[in-house]
């Protein structure tokens, strides 16, 4: 067993236009002051990182990591959530997701998709240049508008969507292999990879690609009424990242999984700060530790009630208190009889 690393913080929800959140030096100092040892970096946020330079220059990457280290944190992973979303976008979401790209690509789905693929490729190369072993992303979605089987789906519709999704991602997964970097898909509603079955459909179409891995986030499973502890045992060999995000699901006679088009605070399923929801994180950390997860415990703050800076500071302490320092010896070693093979045979009567 291995001791999970942490606490770390995903910076996407905190980057902003005011100090200390508007530059790399300031935000890493702030994260360390909150109690974090690592940070996960949104690669699209130019206030924090120049992704093109990171893909081209190891010197830039060394300087980038050096600033973080001087401030007391290390870079855990790069994120391409927004770019990954645009690798595969159903036309129904063209307008909604157009803001995920740079202004010159907006309104042109083909150019936007090509830009997104290039961005993910650059992030994989930058991850290699930084000595990182994994990158987190969304899969994007072609079949998501048809997630509920009404009207009845035509035969082959879902299969065609997943064939195309795998076709788009396979070259990127091959580049990830060349870089020695795992692509960890965040299993997430709104993505075609939103649960175990959909992930396996994709995995099969990529030839069970060794780099097609998972980010484990129990909050998304609580909102789907999925067994988030069993999920760890099923996919232990594929889980290479971990987001510490809490959630609660409180259905009523008026609303359930689908939420009734209500804002987050009024939905039956809501994201909460770590410790404020229903996820049994004691069991989660135990199960991950028992399954030899050796990555980072990364707080992703998303809460419909609590102030983000309070959530961040509380999250660092929450993770620190849940990390299990693994034992190097059995608890009953004091009773070891120091038997040898001959004694074993005598005890068995053979």
Residue 122's pLDDT is what?
Answer: 98
Per the structure, the count of domains in the chain is 1
Closest CA to 300 of 247, 219, 244: 244
Mean pLDDT of 325-333: 76
For the packed helices 308-322 and 24-34, what is the interaxial angle rounded to 10 degrees?
Answer: 50
Res. 337 pLDDT band, cuts 50 70 90: low
Span 103-156, pLDDT tens digits: 999 999 999 999 999 999 999 999 999 999 999 999 999 999 999 999 999 999
Half-sphere exposure of 345 (CA within 13 A, CB side): 4
Q: Is the pLDDT of residue 13 over 90?
A: yes
Tokens of 180: 């020695």
Half-sphere exposure of 173 (CA within 13 A, CB side): 20
Q: Which residue has the tokens 């909102």?
A: 223
Domain with 266, as residue range(s), is 5-348
Res. 228 pLDDT band, cuts 50 70 90: very high
Span 195-222, pLDDT tens digits: 999 999 999 999 999 999 999 999 999 9
For the packed helices 308-322 and 281-290, what is the interaxial angle rounded to 10 degrees?
Answer: 50
pTM of the predicted model, to two decimals? 0.95
345 or 264: whose pLDDT is higher?
264
Residue 232's pLDDT is what?
Answer: 98
Residue 347's pLDDT is what?
Answer: 87
Give me the helices (H) in 196-307, please.
196-205, 218-222, 228-234, 281-290
Mean pLDDT of 271-298: 97
CATH of the domain at 199: 3.20.20.150
Residue 12's pLDDT is what?
Answer: 98
């Amino acid at each position: 067993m291995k001791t999970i690393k942490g606490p770390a913080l995903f910076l996407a929800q905190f980057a902003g236009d005011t100090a200390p959140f508007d530059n790399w030096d300031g935000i890493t100092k702030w994260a360390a002051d909150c109690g974090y040892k690592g940070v996960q970096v949104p690669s699209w946020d130019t206030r924090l990182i120049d992704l093109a330079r990171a893909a081209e220059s190891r010197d830039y990457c060394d300087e980038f990591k050096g600033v973080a280290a001087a401030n007391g944190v290390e870079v855990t992973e790069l994120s391409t959530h927004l770019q990954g979303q645009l690798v595969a976008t159903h036309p129904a979401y063209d307008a909604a997701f157009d803001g995920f790209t740079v202004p010159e690509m907006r309104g042109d789905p083909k150019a936007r998709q090509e830009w997104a693929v290039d961005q993910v490729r650059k992030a994989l190369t930058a991850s290699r240049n930084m000595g990182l072993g994994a990158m987190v992303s969304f899969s994007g979605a072609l079949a998501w508008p048809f997630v509920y089987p009404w009207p009845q789906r035509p035969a082959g519709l879902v299969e065609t969507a997943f064939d195309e999704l795998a076709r788009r991602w396979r070259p990127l997964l091959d580049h990830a292999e060349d870089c020695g970097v795992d692509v960890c898909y965040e299993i997430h509603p709104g993505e075609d990879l939103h649960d175990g079955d959909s992930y396996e459909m994709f995995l099969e179409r990529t030839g069970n690609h060794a780099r097609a891995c998972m980010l484990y986030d129990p909050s998304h499973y609580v909102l789907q009424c999925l067994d988030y502890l069993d999920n760890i045992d099923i996919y232990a060999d594929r889980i290479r990242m971990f987001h510490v995000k809490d959630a609660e699901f409180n259905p009523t006679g008026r609303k359930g999984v689908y939420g009734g088009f209500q804002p987050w605070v009024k939905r039956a399923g809501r994201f909460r700060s770590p410790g404020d929801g229903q996820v049994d994180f004691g069991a989660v950390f135990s199960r991950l530790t028992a399954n030899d997860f050796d990555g980072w415990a990364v707080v992703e703050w998303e809460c419909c009630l609590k102030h983000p800076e309070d959530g961040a500071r509380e999250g660092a302490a929450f993770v620190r208190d849940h990390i299990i320092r693994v034992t190097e010896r059995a608890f009953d070693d004091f009773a070891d009889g120091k038997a040898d093979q001959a004694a074993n045979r005598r005890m068995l009567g053979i």
